[in-house]
C-alpha cells in the first residue's frame, strides 16, 4: 500500500526469458531510477522463476498464487515486453492469464515499456498490450516508452549507448511516480487519517 509508513511498492514484470534479453536491459534502467527514491521498493518478476502453467490447467499452482499475491500488494505495476511478430510476447500474455479473473491488476496503475529491433520500435506491441490491460481493468498510464533498434542501443554487457534513449527510458519511472503522488498517495493518506480518527477540518 502506498502510504507514508509503508512506502511505495512497484512490481516490474519482464516479458522475456531469453538469456541476456534486451527487455531486461531496458527495464533495469527504470528499476535503477525508481530505487533512487528511498520510499520506493521495487520487485522485479522474471516469469521463468514462477513456472507458470498454461491457462486453465492449474489455477492453484504455487507460482500462480505467488505471482497474484505480489501484484495484488503492489502500488503500481510496470510491464516490459519485447515486440514479437507484431505484438507483445507470449510470456507477457502468460503472466496476464495467471493473474486471475477478475484480475488482480484491476484498478492498478500500470506503466508500459517496449523494445523492438525495428526502426519504428514496439508501437504495435504496446498498443495491443494497452488494449488487453485496459480490458481487464488496469489503469494504463499515458506515454508508454518504446525503444527502437534495440540491438544498437545496448551493448553485449547491457550498457546503454545512447544518452537520449536512456533519458527516455528512465522517464518512465518519473511518469509512474508522478501519477502515484498525484492520484494514489493523497487518497491513501486521507483514508489512513480517517481510519485513525483524526478529524479533517475544512479551511
The answer to whether the Cα torsion of 67, 116, 9, 199 is positive or negative is negative
- Asked whether residue 56 is domain-assigned, the answer is yes
- Asked whether residue 201 is domain-assigned, the answer is no
- The structure's pTM equals 0.88
Rounded CA-CA distance 27/92 in Å is 14
pLDDT, residue 184, reads: 76
Q: CATH number for the domain including 18?
A: 3.40.50.360
Contact 95, 64 (CB under 8 A): no
Q: What percent of the chain has pLDDT over 70?
A: 88
**HSE of 150, CA atoms in CB hemisphere, 13 A:** 23
Q: Domain count of the chain?
A: 1
- Asked whether residue 152 is domain-assigned, the answer is yes
pLDDT, residue 2, reads: 39
- Asked whether residue 1 is domain-assigned, the answer is no
DSSP secondary structure letters along 89-109: -HHHHHHHHTTTTTTTTTT-E
- Asked whether residue 202 is domain-assigned, the answer is no
pLDDT band with cut points at 50, 70 and 90 for residue 195: low
Rounded CA-CA distance 161/170 in Å is 14
Rounded CA-CA distance 145/111 in Å is 9
Contact 17, 48 (CB under 8 A): yes
* Residue-range definition of the domain harbouring residue 81: 8-195
Per-residue pLDDT of 85-118, as tens digits, reads: 999 999 999 999 999 999 999 999 999 999 999 9
Amino acid at each position: 500500500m502506498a502510504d507514508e509508513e509503508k512506502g511505495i511498492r512497484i512490481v516490474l514484470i519482464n516479458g522475456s526469458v531469453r538469456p541476456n534479453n534486451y527487455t531486461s536491459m531496458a527495464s533495469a534502467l527504470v528499476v535503477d531510477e525508481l530505487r533512487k527514491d528511498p520510499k520506493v521498493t521495487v520487485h522485479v518478476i522474471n516469469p521463468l522463476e514462477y513456472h507458470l502453467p498454461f491457462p486453465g490447467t492449474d489455477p492453484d499452482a504455487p507460482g500462480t498464487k505467488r505471482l497474484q499475491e505480489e501484484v495484488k500488494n503492489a502500488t503500481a505495476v510496470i510491464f516490459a515486453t519485447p515486440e514479437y511478430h507484431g505484438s507483445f510476447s507470449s510470456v507477457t500474455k502468460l503472466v496476464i492469464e495467471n493473474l486471475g479473473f477478475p484480475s488482480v491488476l484491476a484498478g492498478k496503475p500500470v506503466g508500459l515499456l517496449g523494445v523492438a529491433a525495428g526502426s519504428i520500435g514496439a508501437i504495435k506491441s504496446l498498443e495491443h498490450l494497452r488494449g488487453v490491460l485496459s480490458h481487464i481493468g488496469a489503469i494504463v498510464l499515458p506515454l508508454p516508452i518504446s525503444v527502437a533498434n534495440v540491438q544498437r542501443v545496448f551493448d553485449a554487457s547491457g550498457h546503454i549507448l545512447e544518452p537520449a534513449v536512456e533519458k527516455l527510458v528512465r522517464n518512465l519511472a518519473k511518469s509512474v511516480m508522478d501519477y502515484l503522488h498525484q492520484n494514489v498517495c493523497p487518497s491513501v493518506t486521507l483514508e489512513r487519517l480517517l481510519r485513525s480518527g483524526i478529524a479533517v477540518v475544512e479551511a
